[in-house]
Structure 1
Amino acid sequence: MLRIFVITFLFSSTFLLTNIANAQTLEKRIDSLINLSQHTVDTDSSSSWADEALAASEAINYTSGIVNSILVKITNLVNEAKCDEALKYIIQNENLIRESKLDDKISFMMVLKSNCYSYLNFFEKSEECLKEGKKFAKKIVDKNIRNYELGRFFRISAAIKQLNPKTSNDLETILDYHQKSAKLFSSVEKDGLLNTGVIISENSIGETFLKMKQEDSAKLHFEKALQHAIKYNTKKFVDQSYAGIANVHYKKDNLDSALFYLESALSIAKKNRNKLHLGEIYRLLSTVHLKKGNRTKSLEYLEKYTKSADNLLTSNKNAVRVSADLLLLENEKKYNFARNQYIIAVAAVVFLLIITLFLITRILRKHKRVVNSNFEQQQELHGRLKKLQVPEQAEKIDDSVLDNLLNLAFSNDPRFLGVFTELQPNFVNKLIEKAPQLTASELTLSAYLRLGLTTKEIARYTKSSVRAVESRKYRLRKKLDIPSFEDINIWMIN
């Protein structure tokens, strides 16, 4: 029997350990797929790997893998300027990401959501998302990840100001936000973390310096972005760096250098499929070729730019319409949630009021019963006390004296025994004659028993337990030598 148990235990343990090892191996493979999808410049490959990672994560219920895969897919949609689709996908998966309790992932989701709203010109909603997301970013324990997420918030804050017509000329503030963002991204020192944030921020600083007509400073930051791209072995967002450097060369009339960098930027932007970047590169290529005197090439790129701009405009109009519907739907959900919360709160208050009224009514009824019971008991004891007096004395005793005695008994007042002795001197003297060793508390107990109080009543008035009163009665019975078959209450009365 023992041998069978040992074999079964070993088999079960081996099976369990094998499953754990397989799950861990699969999780590592999923993490590798996600890492590949984050590093690649090819959007199709990135989305394909993210889909594969998502399916594998769902099969083994790997929360981190599911959330990361979804965020990669959303990021790809944002990078392709498909903000309406990205927003739809965020809203579909928002509850799932929030339920993961992963602060860095929730924070990143809110950054992407804010980015979409700002791109679609819903600036107030964008800032609202940033404000909420920042709370999650500040809760992140890992300093590197926390700084990375906070860097994103400064970057998106700058983007909101850039896109908003009311604040787009405030270049000093925009530059300050981008510099703070770059500083936070640069402080991150963690192996395996793809720091594309610092590349984007350096590009954004370069673009801001270009608008401020500080070409040398702009070029310095575009080159910094390229250095970071080489460091992290990625070509993501490098098209912006090349386009920025090309713009600097164009402004300095270095047209051949400008064309070289623009063609490099175009090659990468096509792989990234970022319509916004492609349009800007086509526009710059058209401008440079026109300045070089190549009208044919200039018109060719101008036509591509116009087509790209028209497509982008149509896409943006549709995206804004869809996003407005999504925003209305989201606001309606919030309103319904708030209304339901209000109804629940009102119902809870009404329920509590009903319960309170019920309890008060019950307490009042109980109090009334106790008062009536006490009054009846007092009247009964009143009559019993008068019967215990000799006829001549009973006539002389005032009712107020009896009431006072009973009140002293009910409140367990030490003066009770003295007043009782005055009214029943013969009874007390006989007890002392029979058992001189009786204590004051035992004489008080005897007085209670003579009044006909039950064990429970004595326990209530003396704030003792029933068992304690029964023990005291037993000791009193022994001292007074009362037979066990005789009722001690009747003995005291007689």
Structure 2
Amino acid sequence: MKNLIVRTIRMIILFITISCSQTSPYHHTEDFDMPLITKNNEMNSSGNFEALIKLNAEYFKKAGAMGYDEGKGLCFLNVANVNSTEGDYERAHILLDKAGESLKNSENNFHKAKFYDSYAHYYSHLKQYDKAIIYSDSALFSLKKAPDSELKKKLMPRIYTNRGTYFAWKGQLGNSLKNFHKGNVLEKSAYSNCMVAQYHLYTNRLDSAGIYALRAENMMSRHKTPDVERLWIYYTAGYYYNEINQYDEAEKMLKNALELSIKTRLTYSFHIKDVYKALSDLYRKKKDKEKAYFYLSRYLEEDSRLNESRFAAINKTTDSFITEAKKESDQRENDLWAVGILVIIILSVSGMYIRKNIRLLKLKKKNLKTETDRLKNRVYEKKLQEVTELAKRNDSSFLMKFKELHPEFISRLLIINPDFENSELAFCALLKLHFTSKEIADYTFVQHKSIQQKKYRIRKKLNIEGDQDIYEFLDQLEKTANP
């Protein structure tokens, strides 16, 4: 009888232990995931990245105290997204790998969706849109399997909107518009309408762009909208008004965007560059050469100066985050010493293993940098080939694609002479690609004599000395922009 009672008690204890261990994968949604992601998104939208990284460092410690590895993974993802946005792709990849280690055993489909969406975001910045779409597919698939929650409700439309961007850059405009509309239907915000407007501006459908740009503007005035999203809406509206030649309204919108760009300049410097460039284009169309030159100069200054300062700020705060993560890991190791001699031996062996891993990590970082450089070269060569083919076909999108390949070149031309027409800029681009006069004549279907006359006019506009080779001058032009 006594043995039966003992066995029964053991069975009860075992049952309770198993029951307690089988917690839901969504157990910490309310007490950890929700507050972290909500605060993180608020700081991201305000452009306060330094506070964002400090927030994630605090939650990383909290996750460690809770034994919540998935929580650590979310922190890594949040900081990885910051580095992707700011162009530090090597650091972003390392943080994404760390997030993957923390989330690899998670059964939480929201966590999986966040992880895949972050990788899609990362690859989109590398302009590897095929990979971005593949990861975005996985994010969407995982999120659809997650239970309904406020987190799911907010992430779903942003995934669709991001997919719209990836498909647009891939040239799959039908899929792009479909995803932009899905995101807009789900979110119904000023920002989601603004992104649809951006699509129509990108495809030069000004009537449709106007509908969504004005709707975004009206919604922004009626609802609270984060600074960074307001900036994008003002910029889009200003861009639209400039396209339809309503210069006063365009100036008003772009000046509003400029104020917000300055406010968030420490982290969202890529926005302020766009605004300066749009203002320069506006004043060039208004034939205000002085202001056109001023904003072009500011554009170039921001392109070089802020590029360095933003990396310094992000690197400093990210290093602090990684240091805190290591401290938490070291603390857990130190606590094990109290177990006894056996644990000391294990830790010694672990220390050797960790040192080996650190060496491997350094080697991996070096290899990642080499791979990144190789990737940049491959991307450049592919773009160069694409631009060359467009030039040979006399395609109307040639100049736009050339600007993506050599943005400083066009800017330098406009600084020397803001009166350059698009046709003249396109001609200079052909010379930059080292096409001969005969080749340019053949591709543009004009007589060789006309090409020589165009060269003469370009030389005058650029004040090129009579004995200087025009090809050599244009080659040196971009180098002076990047000393």
Q: How does the TM-score come out when normalised to structure 1?
A: 0.50
Q: 1:228 and 1:251 mapped to 2: Cα distance?
A: 21
Task: Give the CA deviation at 1:90.
Answer: 1.0
Corresponding position of 1:181: 183
Q: Distance in 2 between matches of 1:159 and 1:323?
A: 27
- 1:448-467 aligned within 5 A: none
CA shift, 1:201, in A, is 3.1
**Deviation digits for residues 225-251 of structure 1 (CA, Å, limit 9, x no counterpart):** 452696355223221111000012212
Please name the residue that 1:5 is paired with.
none
Equivalent residues of 2:74, 2:99 under 8 A apart: no
Assess, with a 3 A threshold, how the Cα gap between structure 1 residues 91 and 284 changes in structure 2: closer, same or farther. Answer: same
Deviations 1:34-93 (CA, angstroms, capped at 9, x unpaired): 533321302233333233333333334345643443333233333434444323311222
Letter in 1 for 2:253: Y
- Which of 198, 204, 215 lines up with 1:207 in the alignment? 198
Greater gyration radius: 1
Structure 2 residue 253 is the aligned partner of structure 1 residue 261: yes
CA distance in 2 between partners of 1:180 and 1:103 (Å): 21
- Kept in 1, the 8 Å contact 2:166–2:176? The answer is no
Work out whether residues 197 and 213 of structure 2, in 8 Å CA contact, stay in contact via their aligned partners in 1.
yes
Q: CA deviation at 1:112?
A: 1.7
Structure 1 residues without counterparts, runs of 5 or longer: 1-23, 187-197, 330-494
Query: Secondary structure at the residue paired with 1:299?
Result: helix
User: What residue is the counterpart of 1:61 in the other structure?
Assistant: 67
Change in CA separation of 1:51 and 1:275 when aligned onto 2, cut-off 3 Å: same
Kindly provide the CA deviation profile for residues 395-454 of structure 1, in whole angstroms up to 9, marking residues without a partner as x: xxxxxxxxxxxxxxxxxxxxxxxxxxxxxxxxxxxxxxxxxxxxxxxxxxxxxxxxxxxx
Amino acid at match of 1:38: N
Q: Are 1:111 and 1:152, in contact at CA under 8 Å, matched by a contact in 2?
A: no
- CA-atom RMSD in angstroms: 3.9
Shift of 1:158: 2.1
Q: Which moved more, 1:254-263 or 1:146-155?
A: 146-155
1:308 Cα deviation (Å)? 4.7
How many Å separate the matches in 2 of 1:57 and 1:297?
52
Residue 281 of structure 1 aligns with an amino acid whose one-letter code is: V
Over 3 Å counting, the alpha-carbon distance change for 1:260 and 1:64 in structure 2 is: farther
The code of the aligned residue for 2:163 comes to S
Provide the residue aligned with 1:218 in structure 2. 209
Distance 1:218 1:127 in 2: 25
The yes-or-no answer on 1:35 pairing with 2:38 is yes
Cα shift readout 1:220-273 (whole Å, capped 9, x = no counterpart): 323444526963552232211110000122123232322222122223334162
**Contact 2:85–2:125, Cα closer than 8 Å, also in 1:** no
Provide the rounded CA distance (Å) in 2 between the counterparts of 1:243 and 1:282.
10
* Distance in 2 separating the partners of 1:266 and 1:201: 21
SS state at 2:104 partner: helix
Task: Give the aligned partner of residue 231 of structure 2.
Answer: 239
**TM-score w.r.t. length of structure 2:** 0.51
Aligned twin of 1:4: none
Question: Is 1:248 matched up with 2:251?
Answer: no
Alpha-carbon distance in 1 for matches of 2:222, 2:163: 27
CA distance in structure 2 between the partners assigned to 1:241 and 1:59 by the alignment: 42
Distance 1:62 1:233, change over 3 A: farther
Once the two structures are aligned, what percentage of the paired residues are identical? 16
- Could you say which residue in structure 1 is the equivalent of 2:274? 280
* 1:110, distance to aligned residue in structure 2 (A): 0.9
Q: In the TM superposition, what whole-angstrom CA distance separates every residue of 1:302-339 from its partner, at most 9, and x where no partner exists?
A: 123235556899999xx9x947837999xxxxxxxxxx
2:368 aligned with 1:325, yes or no?
A: no
Work out the CA distance in 2 between the residues paired with 1:303 and 1:172.
38
Given the superposition, is the C-alpha separation of residues 290 and 92 from structure 1 closer, same or farther in structure 2, using an over 3 Å criterion? same
Task: Say if 2:147 is the partner of 1:156.
Answer: no
